[in-house]
Copies of this chain bind each other. A is one copy, B any other.
Amino acid sequence: MSRAATTSDAFNAIAEPRRREILSYLALQERPVGDIAASLGIRQPSVSKHLRVLHDVGLVRVRRDGRRMLYRTDAETIRPLHEWTGQFERFWRHQLDRIKERAEAKSAAQPSRTESQPKEEP
């Protein structure tokens, strides 16, 4: 077997940095392909290919306007990704708590004990 197709799901589709840029750009407002290419500095064929992938997994919708194609982000498809990553929220909360606790315990004890190379902002 090989790597999963970019069109296999939204996770694979958003792995590409350019596609993430496109999604952000198209979230606010629908745009024709040419605008995307010009604004993000990507060549038109590349934009079309990325849009094809995004469309295949339902991350964007299209509408024809004369000879132009207007694309916009379909946020609903991003939701499952947000929920998947959200499952870890309680854990990074805990980790932060522990870091805080350590920092407080340390500064409350002896201010000059340096284990490795501490970085401090003045």
Contact = CB atoms under 8 A, between A and B. Distances in A.
A88 B4 contact: no
Interface size class of chain A, counting residues whose CB lies under 8 Å from the partner chain: 20 to 34
Interface string A74-95: 1110110110111111011011
Contacts of A79: 85, 88, 92
B27 A91 contact: yes
B85 A73 contact: no
A15 interface: yes
Contact of A15 (B12, B85, B88): B12
Given A15-B12, A87-B24, A95 B82 contact: no
Contacts of A81: 81, 85
Interface of A: 3-4, 6, 11-12, 14-17, 20, 23-24, 27, 73-76, 78-79, 81-82, 84-89, 91-92, 94-96
Given A4-B15, A75-B88, A75-B94, 6 more contacts: A4-B17, A12-B15, A15-B15, A75-B91, A76-B92, A78-B88
28 contacts: A3-B3, A3-B16, A4-B15, A4-B16, A4-B17, A11-B14, A11-B15, A11-B17, A11-B20, A15-B15, A20-B84, A23-B88, A24-B87, A27-B91, A73-B91, A75-B88, A75-B92, A75-B94, A76-B92, A78-B85, A78-B92, A79-B85, A79-B88, A81-B81, A81-B85, A82-B82, A82-B86, A82-B89
